[in-house]
Amino acid sequence: MTFTTSPDASASGENPALLRRSHFGRGIGLAAAAALALTACGGDDGDGDESADAEDVGDQDTEFLTVATGGSSGVYYQIGATLADLLASELDSDASAQATGASAENINMLTDGDAELGFTMGDTNVQALEGTGPFEDDPREDLMAIAALYQNTVQLVATEESGIESVEDLEGSRVAVGDVGSGTEMNANVVLEGHGLSYDDMTADYLSFEEAVDQMANGHVDAAFVTSGLPNPGLTELATSTDFIIVPIEGEARDDLIEEREYLEESQVPGGTYQQEEDVETLGVTNHLLVSSELSEDAAYDITEVFFENLESIHNSHAAAEEIELENAAEGLTVPLHPGAERYLEENDVDVSGDE
């Protein structure tokens, strides 16, 4: 197995679902819902079946599999590397995990034929389907999932020295907002907008997780958005040298954001995760494992089987991965299941209807 690194790789990865909901099955009220019905569900008749039809997929096998992940220090990469190992040993695939800029880049790789599997956040999936954000005027079709995984936690961290205690306090500060076009950067934009702020109100630096942590440790950045699983390895390392707090995202502003963007969920950073003693309220987004629509139904079935029948290995890859469970595999999806994944889940008594 081989491991390669993208020049602009940023860390990514993601946290336990405290309040998981099947957004796609609820009809999330976004343009993505219509796009999914038209482009990925083969004319869904509204019966709650949120998978793509078998005729919508290709005939590619599992001989060569590239897993698009995130930055090499992030959760996506650690889970993806483990998955690539499993695919190589269980399916005799030539499988590799590739470090990337995470969600948006992974979708590009999937739709451009440069990867067969990729980790993404639910909100980035929605942007891809709508043709917004990093996919402006370039909507993507045929996005399909192996499963919903676990919740990504939006962690807004600030050095104690900065005096920042709320989102509003970011005004006039130096803030790392994530790599350009990354899921983290999208979250930063949304959170700031929900609190009446924009990048114009601060010095916004487009930094990967690794770069943001380094700049905080060196005193060049006051705060950073880090959307990942818990704990984030970079923040765990930062805690050994720099005092920082988790800035809460809560109250009416959070409620309004969840109401407006139903892919967002309530979440917490539990006390003791880093330096803080108390739980801190914030937002979460469901992570997905996407699969190329070029893979056959049998190929996607085999990949899904390898993933869930080796959950102990997946869980051991990172603490955040411990939240991945078979029974939750269809919860919180913002794209339909690949027919092969759906078949495996149905055979194992997982409700794939999308109903609450």
Band (pLDDT 50/70/90 cuts) for residue 6 is very low
pLDDT digits (tens, 9 = 90+) for 127-146: 999 999 889 999 999 999 99
Q: What is the mean pLDDT of the chain?
A: 87
Determine phi and psi for 276, rounding to 5 degrees: -80, 145
The total of other beta-carbon atoms located within 10 Å of residue 15's CB is 30
| Residue ranges, CATH 3.40.190.10, the chain | 3-152+288-347, 153-285
**pLDDT tens figures, 154-168:** 999 999 999 999 999
Q: Tell me how many degrees the CA angle 33-35-37 measures, rounded to the nearest 5.
A: 70
The distance in angstroms from the start CA to the end CA of the chain is 40
CB 236, CB 190: distance < 8 Å:
no
Is-above-0.85 flag for pTM? no
Mean pLDDT in residue range 228-247 = 94
Q: Assign 179 a pLDDT band (cuts: 50, 70, 90).
A: confident
Domain 3-152+288-347 indexed as CATH 3.40.50.1110: no
Token pair listed for 80: 């993806």
The per-residue pLDDT for range 48-83, each reduced to its tens digit, is 345 677 778 999 999 999 999 988 878 899 999 999
Tokens at 36, concatenated: 């999914």
Give the rounded percent of residues in the chain with a pLDDT score beyond 90: 74
Residue 148 has pLDDT above 70, yes or no: yes
Q: What is the CATH number of domain 153-285?
A: 3.40.190.10
Tokens representing 259 are 């109401």
The 3-state secondary structure of the chain reads CCEEECCCCCCCCCECCCCCCCHHHHCCCCHHHHHHHHHCCCCCCCCCCCECCHHHCCCECCCEEEEECCCCCCHHHHHHHHHHHHHHHHHCCEEEEEECCCHHHHHHHHHCCCCCEEEEEHHHHHHHHHCCHHHCCCCCCCCEEEEEEEEEEEEEEEEHHHCCCCHHHHCCCEEECCCCCCHHHHHHHHHHHHCCCCHHHCEEECCCHHHHHHHHHCCCCCEEEEEECCCCHHHHHHCCCCCEEECCCCHHHHHHHHHHCCCEEEEEECCCCCCCCCCEEEEEEEEEEEECCCECHHHHHHHHHHHHHCHHHHHHHCHHHHHCCHHHCCCCCCCCECHHHHHHHHHCCCCCCCCC
